[in-house]
Amino acid sequence: MASLDFGPLFAPGLPPPAAKWTGFAKYNFIGGHNDAEQLPLAALIKAANDVLTREARNLATYGLASGPLGYRPLREFLVQKLERTAGIRCDADEILITSGSLQALDLVNGILLKRGDTVIIEQATYQGALTRLQRLGVEAVGIPLDGEGMRMDALAAALDALRRRGVQAKYIYTIPTVQNPTGTILSEARRHEMLRLAAQCGVPIFEDDCYSDLIWDGKRPPALYAMSTHGGVIHIGSFSKSVAPALRVGYIVAPWPLLARMLPLKTDAGSGALEQMVLGEFCSAQFDAHVPVLTRALRAKLETLMAALDEQFGTAAEFEDPKGGIFLWVKLPDQVDTQKLFAPALAAGVAINPGAEWSTDKSHGRSRTRLCFANPSPEVIRAGIATLAEVCRREFGVPARIANVERARV
Amino acid sequence: MASLDFGPLFAPGLPPPAAKWTGFAKYNFIGGHNDAEQLPLAALIKAANDVLTREARNLATYGLASGPLGYRPLREFLVQKLERTAGIRCDADEILITSGSLQALDLVNGILLKRGDTVIIEQATYQGALTRLQRLGVEAVGIPLDGEGMRMDALAAALDALRRRGVQAKYIYTIPTVQNPTGTILSEARRHEMLRLAAQCGVPIFEDDCYSDLIWDGKRPPALYAMSTHGGVIHIGSFSKSVAPALRVGYIVAPWPLLARMLPLKTDAGSGALEQMVLGEFCSAQFDAHVPVLTRALRAKLETLMAALDEQFGTAAEFEDPKGGIFLWVKLPDQVDTQKLFAPALAAGVAINPGAEWSTDKSHGRSRTRLCFANPSPEVIRAGIATLAEVCRREFGVPARIANVERARV
């Protein structure tokens, strides 16, 4: 019998099929992976042992003994952690644990967005946020950034333009604290201004604070959620960057009436219990000690990356020293199209994020690239950037000269 | 400043808001929880220790070192387990690990369904499948079941009726092996017939085998996926019933070209790594020894439940002894409306699933209820059924007399 042809049965508008996974690139500057050397292995293993020995019988019930908002000890850790670091005062019933911050994005989008809606977003921003909006048929109005984050003059102008068009933006999505990909931190003055503009227009702010734990000097302004006096902020965060990306645990902070609308859309019978239990146990005892160890290591890798770029690209690679995080946003000369650089770089073993995929304005992103530095070793960073420079010179004539350096073998 | 009013900003058609969780009912016969006494605690803790000690550095990368299909050792366990128990021959690239079988439902629906589509489904079936179809705006044509599962004469008639209307059904969703809620096992002869009818009409079969490990005598027919000669079957399964529900790990078995369409819809950056790692480690060594221990305990609880129903309801409660699983599908006299029984029962501490929520045909489900027996202790089962009988008699006059038994204190 002939095989069933699924072709005519597929839903319309599906994304193109995935290619088979063939492993990570040799020089891997994409994907938000973290530094394997800094994983707190012994503490995680002890946490797993302790919490399973004490509470594993709860695994027999969906949602453990904590209900659909997620493992209560983890929410209780977050209550005190968010107050201490971000100035957020909330209680455990205003936190929903999610399967990574990506599920948090889906749930917030789920309660607010329909096809044809408009949202405001940073001009350079997280690709996963942009692709979600595209799939949902939502228009993303991009606001330019400078060294202090989203520009408030541009935000005011965009809100004004929408008002004139009679369009109600559904939210302002911002990564104010270690912005992805620019690494900027929105100043406290701008936070006040954003809150004022948002309140004036009745637009909620969707604050994505995923990277905010990874700041070199540990200093950050209060969260927009904490500063708001009119309640119109939804805050999300994650343990992917501060502990381990493969643990898929994020969270949403919002008033209960909003979480009550999200819960019926969270039809997964709960997020993974082991991850929540181990994180709850680990974080209560170890989070504060772990984070500075991690950020010191990340800062050292960033310096390796910036030095390698200086050495290999010279003035052809422009960037600002970010205040934290795991990525560097690099501007190459205008003749370089990083989407066209992608394939030959990958063929040479170097994976990069083309800037256009991280921008609402493709021409703004065209000659930019995001380089993640947390996962590769210093040797891999140096050799990878040298290889990237070779490929870029071959394809686009920049950098004009290749540095005469000894290549590390990796 | 006044609080922002989110009301006008919500997407249209949201489900009603969730109520705050107030804990499980005292006599809890809902939710698919498992038997806490049978959790293989020591083996799970050892598995966590062993796998984390050996491989925890992989937690620093999304998807571990296995790519987006999921943790490779777990997929390799499934390759041999599925061949041994269900006769399925596949390789590790034809298995996608999901965040519970609910994500598997979402991904299969995601590639095949659009608003206005039609699917075929068992008349009494899993509520989560029904509510998903409803949210998607998909018509579910229900096929009656008898003691051998879905009735093939009714399936043939339904396919014929659809053909006459010019409607192409997108799939036949079936739980053939320990059906939810009826506990039936589709006979091998009917499996052949279902495959023949499906192939004839070019309709895929969506086989949900979530409960198939929990069979009292361990004997099962081959999976439809294994028996198909034309490839048009998508198979899903779960570890929620065989190991622990709070571990959110399920899987999809399908030819790679179908998984390649699902992967771009799985935008969660991977399912939880710890759950996959611990299950991969545990199952390879312990799964085969664990399952019969669990099913013996479940069988004993089922017998407790059936005896309690006989004692408390007499002939007013009709049911067939299921061949496996964690639930009993009970028919009460026609005057009982289990949706109206729900609230007074809950007020007395007894949580039940009203049959209408588990049926395509609300009148068929009206006087039926699904009772899950895996989680409550024998004492709770007996006291809960006694309380349910009291409430049912008060509300609907059945059973006519209440058994004069000593109530266990719980």
Choose the weakest-confidence range: A24-28, A314-318, B177-181, B243-247. Answer: B243-247
Minimal Cα distance from A102: which residue of B? B268
**Do B12 and A48 count as a contact with CB atoms less than 8 A apart?**
no
A353 contact residues in B (CB cutoff 8 A):
none
Task: Tell how strand A139-143 and strand A145-146 pair up.
Answer: unpaired
Determine the average pLDDT of the residues in B294-321. Answer: 97
Cα angle for residues B364, B370, B373 (degrees, 5° grid) = 165
Residue B263 is nearest to which of A18, A68, A267, comparing CB atoms?
A: A18
**Residues from chain B contacting residue A35 (CB–CB below 8 Å):** 60
Q: How far is CA A149 from the centre of its chain?
A: 15
Q: Select from 3.90.1150.10, 3.40.50.920, 3.30.70.380, 1.20.1250.20 the CATH code of A24-39+289-396.
A: 3.90.1150.10
Q: Which residue has the higher pLDDT, A62 or B112?
A: B112
Which CATH architecture is the domain B23-40+289-396 placed in? Alpha-Beta Complex (3.90)
Residue pLDDT tens, chain A, 410 long: 568 999 999 999 999 999 999 999 999 999 989 999 999 999 999 999 999 999 999 999 988 789 999 999 999 999 999 999 999 999 999 999 999 999 999 999 999 999 999 999 999 999 999 999 999 999 999 999 999 999 999 999 999 999 999 999 999 999 999 999 999 999 999 999 999 999 999 999 999 999 999 999 999 999 999 999 989 999 999 999 999 999 999 999 999 999 999 999 999 999 999 999 999 999 999 999 999 999 999 999 999 999 999 999 999 999 999 999 999 999 999 999 999 999 999 999 999 999 999 999 999 999 999 999 999 999 999 999 999 999 999 999 999 876 654 444 44
* Angstroms from B208 CA to nearest CA on chain A: 16
Cβ of A275 within 8 Å of Cβ of B272? The answer is yes
Mean confidence (pLDDT) of chain B: 95
- Are A39 and B64 in contact by the 8 Å Cβ rule? The answer is no
How close does chain A come to B404, measured CA to CA in Å? 33
Same fold, A24-39+289-396 and A41-287: no
Verify whether the Cβ–Cβ distance B264 to A44 is below 8 Å.
no
pLDDT surpasses 50 at B56: yes
**pTM as predicted:** 0.96
Domain at B41-287, CATH from 3.40.50.300, 3.30.70.2390, 3.30.210.10, 3.40.640.10: 3.40.640.10
Contacts of A19 in chain B (CB under 8 A): 260
Q: Which of A30, A41, A61 to mutate to test the interface with B (most CBs of B within 10 A)?
A: A61
Which member of B68, B246, B270 has the closest CB to residue A270? B246
Three-class secondary structure of residue B132 per DSSP = helix
B68/A57 Cβ within 8 A: no
Decide if A48 and B263 are in contact by the 8 Å CB cutoff. Answer: no
Kindly determine whether residue A36 and residue B1, on different chains, have CB atoms separated by under 8 Å.
no
Q: What is the pLDDT of residue B1?
A: 55
Cβ–Cβ below 8 Å for A257 and B67:
no
Which pLDDT belongs to residue A62? 86
CB contact under 8 A, A111 and B273: no
Q: Which residues of B56-68 are buried (b: 16+ CB within 10 A; e: fewer)?
A: bebbbbbbbebbb
CB contact under 8 A, A67 and B6: no
Q: Which of A6, A46, A109, A380 to mutate to test the interface with B (most CBs of B within 10 A)?
A: A6
Instruction: Tell me whether residues B269 and A100 touch, CB distance under 8 A.
Output: yes
Q: Which residue of A has its CA nearest to B254?
A: A6
Contact A270 B248 (CB under 8 A): yes
- Which has the closest alpha carbon to A110: A259, A210, A276? A259
Q: Chain B: give the shortest CA distance to residue A155, in Å.
A: 19
* pLDDT of res. A153: 98
B112 with A274: Cβ contact below 8 A: no
The 3-class secondary structure across chain A, one letter per residue, is: CCCCCCHHHCCCCCCCCCCCCCCCCCEECCCCCCCHHHCCHHHHHHHHHHHHHHHHHHHHCCCCCCCCCCCHHHHHHHHHHHHHHHCCCCCHHHEEEECHHHHHHHHHHHHHCCCCCEEEEECECCHHHHHHHHHHCCEEEEECEECCEECHHHHHHHHHHHHHHCCCCCCEEECCECCCCCCCECCHHHHHHHHHHHHHHCCCEEEECCCCCCECCCCCCCCHHHHCCCCCEEEEEECCCCCCCCCCCEEEECCHHHHHHHHHHCCCCCCCHHHHHHHHHHHHHHHHHHHHHHHHHHHHHHHHHHHHHHHHHHHHCECCCCCECCEEEEECCCCCCHHHHHHHHHHCCEECEEHHHHECCHHHHCCEEEEECCCCCHHHHHHHHHHHHHHHHHHHCCCCCCCCCCCCCC
- What integer pLDDT is reported at residue B62 of this predicted model? 86
Mutate to test the interface with A, among B99, B171, B258 (most CBs of A within 10 A): B99
**pLDDT score of B135:** 95
Task: Find the CB nearest A246 among B6, B53, B273.
Answer: B273
Å between B393 CA and nearest CA of chain A: 30
**Structural domain boundaries in chain B:** 23-40+289-396, 41-287
CA distance linking residue A253 with residue B117, whole number of Å: 36
> What's the confidence (pLDDT) of residue B408?
43
Residue B406's pLDDT band (boundaries 50, 70, 90)? very low
B63 chain-A contacts, CB cut-off 8 A = 21, 246
Q: Which of B41, B44, B61, B132 to mutate to test the interface with A (most CBs of A within 10 A)?
A: B61
The closest alpha carbon to B262, from B138, B105, B79, belongs to: B105
Per the CB < 8 A criterion, the answer to whether B375 and B304 are in contact is: no
Show residues of chain B in contact with A12, CB under 8 Å. 114
Percent of chain B clearing pLDDT 70 (strictly above): 97
- Sorting pLDDT into bands at 50, 70 and 90, what band is B20? very high
What pLDDT score was predicted for residue B407?
Answer: 46
From chain A, pick out residues whose CB is under 8 angstroms from the CB of B99.
99, 248, 268, 271-272
Closest in A93, A245, A259 to B60, CB measured? A245
Q: How far B66 CA sits from the closest chain A CA (Å)?
A: 8
